[in-house]
Chains A and B, each alone.
Chain A
Amino acid sequence: MTSKEKTINIDPEYGVDSRYKTPKEKAIDAVALMEARLERMKNLPKEQILKAELLQLRLKIENYLRDPDYDNKNDFAHFLELYVDTIYSKRSEFAEDINVTPVFLSKVINKHREPKDEFILKLMIHSEKVFKNWGDFPKELWYQVYFHEKLSNTMSSQHKWSAKLEEQVKVSPTIVK
């Protein structure tokens, strides 16, 4: 290979080996990096922290929607709680901003009440306004989470409802040949 060919083929994104060679090397790097990061974090504006937390929420929701397994910890109420607590220091302030009572909000977050359509629509509008300043958040995500949870609940409890309902459902033999 000529030196010209070598130059053409050198690419800093081809074959990058970044593995630590020894545990000691890894440990030393870890300490130095953590010190530097903590120092940099001291100067981090609050807006950037909020931006990171809201992006984290969006990514968690997107991961939840991609994941077909039902996880009790991740549901509409959980994501709503994260959303409210990320933006507000008091949940009652959020309740006021979307014109619902703090009691209603508390019941939705604690899964004692279903969110009404109107509540979800208000939440969509609120998210749209918040994320206008802090990043991208498809407003339909709230509805997707809500229905994903419904679907997951339905499918995971199939053993409870399917046998009883199957007795009531028949398909005409002319349709199924």
Chain B
Amino acid sequence: MTIVEIQTGKIYPIEILPVKSIDYKSLSKARYFFDWREEREAETYKLTIKGEHDILGLVSLERIPAEWRIHIRLLTVSEENRGNKKVFENIAGNLIAEVSKMAVAQFGKFACVSLRPKSSIAQHYVTKYKMNVTGLTLSLEVPEILDLINEYDHD
């Protein structure tokens, strides 16, 4: 999995790993929008460039095995990677793809990743990640979930 430095076009390999206790010290609300310490109880993952420590994006999730589903609770890129002046491309896409891989590994053909963003930004996820719309909930299932994994899961 990789991200692209927009200014140079340079591609960087990334890794997505569980957030450790020590990471919370550096997860400021100013840079990562939320107080991530409030999410300590939730399964939370960080995206970094391989071999580096700086966290570029975060996602927390809830596994719902009874529904073969993983629900994304919080998702964010770091502050410098938002808007028109973002440094890297594909941070959120990789995080969603990683959650999708977890869902397929756990639930196979029934795998589902869901998201319930504000309606003002929902269309972005429908357009960019081909998410299905059910009321206020967006979701990825087979086959779209497989396409997304194929798109992002490469070196």
Q: State whether A12 touches B117 (Cβ < 8 A).
A: yes
Q: State whether B115 touches A16 (Cβ < 8 A).
A: yes
On whether A16 and B75 interact (CB within 8 A), knowing A29-B136, A56-B108, the answer reads yes
Complex Cα–Cα for A40 and B111 (A): 13
Residue B3 CB within 8 A of the other chain: no
On whether A19 and B85 interact (CB within 8 A), knowing A37-B141, A55-B146, the answer reads no
Q: State whether B108 touches A52 (Cβ < 8 A).
A: yes
Q: State whether B104 touches A9 (Cβ < 8 A).
A: no
Q: State whether A48 touches B142 (Cβ < 8 A).
A: yes
* Contact flags B57-95 to A (C-beta < 8 A → 1, else 0): 000000010010101111111010111111000011000
Residues of B near A44 (CB, < 8 A) are: 109, 142-143
| B127-146 interface (Cβ within 8 A of A) | 132, 134-137, 139, 141-143, 145-146
User: Among the listed B69, B84, B91, B112, which residue makes an inter-chain contact with A13, where contact means beta carbons less than 8 Å apart?
Assistant: B91
- Could you tell me the distance in whole angstroms from the C-beta of A24 to the nearest C-beta in chain B? 14
* Contact flags A30-41 to B (C-beta < 8 A → 1, else 0): 101110110011
Residues of A near B137 (CB, < 8 A) are: 29, 32-33
- Could you tell me the distance in whole angstroms from the C-beta of B151 to the nearest C-beta in chain A? 12
Interface size on B, residues (CB 8 A): 53
Complex Cα–Cα for A44 and B75 (A): 29
Q: State whether A18 touches B73 (Cβ < 8 A).
A: yes
Residue B1 CB within 8 A of the other chain: no
Residue B46 CB within 8 A of the other chain: no
Q: State whether A29 touches B33 (Cβ < 8 A).
A: no
Residue A173 CB within 8 A of the other chain: no
User: Among the listed A14, A63, A135, which residue makes an inter-chain contact with B79, where contact means beta carbons less than 8 Å apart?
Assistant: A14
Q: Is the interface of A mostly helix, strand, loop or mixed?
A: helix
- Could you tell me the distance in whole angstroms from the C-beta of B67 to the nearest C-beta in chain A? 6
Complex Cα–Cα for A73 and B103 (A): 20
Residues of B near A16 (CB, < 8 A) are: 72, 74-76, 115, 117, 121
Q: State whether A59 touches B143 (Cβ < 8 A).
A: no
Q: State whether B150 touches A135 (Cβ < 8 A).
A: yes
Residue B16 CB within 8 A of the other chain: no
Residues of B near A8 (CB, < 8 A) are: 83-85
* Contact flags A95-131 to B (C-beta < 8 A → 1, else 0): 0000000000000000000000000000000000000
Q: State whether A12 touches B124 (Cβ < 8 A).
A: yes
On whether A40 and B71 interact (CB within 8 A), knowing A12-B124, A60-B105, the answer reads no
For A19, give the chain B residue with the smallest CB separation.
B73
Q: State whether B117 touches A52 (Cβ < 8 A).
A: no
Complex Cα–Cα for A4 and B64 (A): 41
Most chain B CB within 10 A, of A11, A36, A59, is at A11
- Taking A11-B77, A13-B124, A18-B73 as known contacts, 4 extra A-B pairs with beta carbons closer than 8 A to each other, sorted by chain A number, are A33-B67, A37-B139, A55-B146, A60-B105
Residues of B that sit less than 8 Å from A by CB: 33-34, 64, 67, 69, 71-77, 79, 81-86, 91-92, 101, 104-105, 107-112, 114-118, 121, 124-125, 132, 134-137, 139, 141-143, 145-146, 149-150, 153-154
